[in-house]
Amino acid sequence: MTDQAFKSDFLKTLQARGYIHQVTHPTELDEAAASGVVTAYIGFDATAPSLHVGSLIQIMMLRRLQQAGHKPIVLMGGGTTKVGDPTGKDASRPQLTDETIRANIDGIQKVFARFLTFGDGPTDAVMVNNDDWLSTYGYIQFLRDFGTHFTVNRMLSFDSVKLRLEREQPMTFLEFNYMLMQSVDFLELNRAHGVTLQMGGSDQWGNITSGVDLVRRVDQKAAFGLTTPLLTTASGGKMGKTAQGAVWLNAEQLSPYDYWQFWRNAEDADVGRFMRLFTDLTLDQIAEYEALKGAAINDAKKALADAATTLLHGAEEAGKARRTSEEAFEKGHATTDLPTRTLVWEGTAEEQERNNGQPFVQRSAEALLKASELSPSLGQARKKIQNEGVWVNDMLIKNPAEPFGVDQIDAEVGAFKIRLGKRGQIILVKPI
């Protein structure tokens, strides 16, 4: 991260909150941000129907840009998704159909309205799709217009290419073109919308600087790049990954309760940093939370969860998630607001036959954990019970085969309360 003393509100804010890893032409960019409106973009490929929390730092960067009086452009990668970004991948991404890409974009784009103000004003956000220009190029035209501005020598030095080759993993010529397409995006956006800044994660540095060079070389216009640091947790884990999988931003993929719980379970050492990056709490407020010690750090974690969930899902959902969590963890009450999964309880015909023709009225602890979807398989469930700690109805389970019958169902909610880890997720498993 640069230690330069900035004068523009935008870069001072990014620096104070820990967003900056690398910047091209920092003095020139600072001057531009201090003297007028800077239009900047970040691209998001449509590889899934929702973005996950790993993309949230980029969304927050666009929010900080707009809060500082500048104009954000959200670029949907309808065209680049057809190729697939090779960065950080050992294998080619699966090729998606046009229909799937369009459906994914429909799912992804609705999140941005929570963080940005869209419209026709000078600092209102705009959303565009790079398929609108990338799909219009003919192959020969694309090569003649842009191919001469890229050398294979330099492309081979980029981490996205070099690391793949060092691991002796094949890289297709299709993927090799990705950085050219991303660079052309910058040029097209500069011409159509006056974009002068591309932002992204640190793994995009090579692609971003290629775009900066293309704009400056072809049109002799100002262009800048800025990247955020690689985000890991205090213990070195990947940000946004949990034992249950990705932390999705769309409520259809992950409930507001589970989203709130993700932030509530942040490591102690991460709370202040996450507040600076992922909430609008002031730096003074954050300093007060960082000063809390011992059990009081839990108040800071709840404040982090409240603020982050409010930004994405609204204050009502954040408040509901907090109340549900407090009921489940602090008061020990099961509540129907907890995420619920169903379990076929009657059993197979063979099981009923072994049970003298009666419905099968017991299930093992490992079967309940698998039904909760906190574990993908019985084998994994067995390991989690033995190693991570699993509670059924607030009872610590030590035997994966421990049987649970109808008489142990929580009568109030008609389900078992399953908890993975001492402060992990709680999910109700309802027999049907």
Q: What is the CATH number of the domain that holds 318?
A: 1.10.240.10
Same domain, 274 and 377: no
Same domain, 149 and 103: yes
Does residue 201 belong to any structural domain of this protein? yes
Does residue 30 belong to any structural domain of this protein? yes
Does residue 208 belong to any structural domain of this protein? yes
Q: Residue written as tokens 């190693």?
A: 387
Look up residue 421 and give its two tokens: 């880890």
Q: How far apart are CA 210 and CA 94, in angstroms?
A: 25
Q: Give the single-character DSSP code of 82.
A: G
Does residue 397 belong to any structural domain of this protein? yes
Same domain, 108 and 217: yes
Give pLDDT tens digits along the chain (432 positions).
457 899 999 999 999 999 999 999 999 999 999 999 999 999 999 999 999 999 999 999 999 999 999 999 999 999 999 887 776 665 566 788 999 999 999 999 999 999 999 999 999 999 999 999 999 999 889 888 888 888 888 888 877 787 777 777 778 787 788 889 999 999 999 999 999 999 999 989 989 999 999 999 999 999 999 999 998 888 888 777 665 578 999 999 999 998 998 999 899 999 999 999 999 999 999 999 999 999 899 999 999 999 999 999 999 999 999 998 887 666 556 665 677 787 766 665 665 555 555 555 677 888 888 888 778 888 888 888 888 778 887 788 888 888 887 777 777 777 888 888 766 677 777 776
Helices (H), 243-364: 256-264, 271-278, 283-290, 297-313, 315-325, 349-354
Q: How many domains does the chain fold into?
A: 3
Same domain, 212 and 296: no
pLDDT for position 424:
66
Query: Of 278, 303, 330, which one is at a domain's C-terminal end?
Result: 330
Per the structure, the complete domain to which residue 273 belongs is given by 255-330
Are the C-beta atoms of 206 and 159 separated by less than 8 Å?
Answer: yes
Q: How far apart are CA 257 and CA 249, in angstroms?
A: 12
Same domain, 58 and 204: yes
Does residue 244 belong to any structural domain of this protein? no
Handedness of CA 174, 180, 183, 188 (dihedral sign): negative
Q: How far apart are CA 244 and CA 264, in angstroms?
A: 16
Report which of 432, 387, 402 is spatially closest to residue 414, judged by C-alpha positions. 432
- Residue 135: CATH number of its domain: 3.40.50.620
Q: How far apart are CA 230 and CA 239, in angstroms?
A: 9
- Residue 398: CATH number of its domain: 3.10.290.10
Q: How far apart are CA 48 and CA 146, in angstroms?
A: 30
Query: Of 330, 349, 383, which one is at a domain's C-terminal end?
Result: 330
Q: Any long-range contacts for 337-340 (C-beta under 8 Å, 24+ apart)?
A: 337/257, 338/257, 338/413, 338/417, 338/426, 338/427, 338/428, 339/255, 339/257, 339/258, 339/425, 339/426, 339/427, 339/428, 340/415, 340/427, 340/428, 340/429, 340/430
Report which of 411, 415, 417, 409 is spatially closest to residue 391, judged by C-alpha positions. 417
Same domain, 322 and 344: no
Query: Of 213, 228, 243, which one is at a domain's C-terminal end?
Result: 228
Residues in the chain: 432
| 372 Cβ neighbours under 8 A, 6+ residues apart | 341, 418, 420, 427, 429
CA distances from 148 to 33, 196, 417 (A): 32, 22, 62
The whole-model pTM stands at: 0.82
Does residue 354 belong to any structural domain of this protein? yes
Look up residue 370 and give its two tokens: 């698998």
Question: What torsion do the CA atoms of 191, 196, 199, 202 make, to the nearest 10 degrees?
Answer: 100
Does residue 410 belong to any structural domain of this protein? yes
Same domain, 222 and 307: no
Q: How many CB atoms lie within 10 A of CB 62?
A: 22
Amino acid at site 140: I
Same domain, 291 and 406: no
Same domain, 195 and 275: no
The helix/strand/coil state of 373 is coil
Same domain, 143 and 63: yes
Same domain, 136 and 276: no
Does residue 249 belong to any structural domain of this protein? no
Same domain, 266 and 356: no
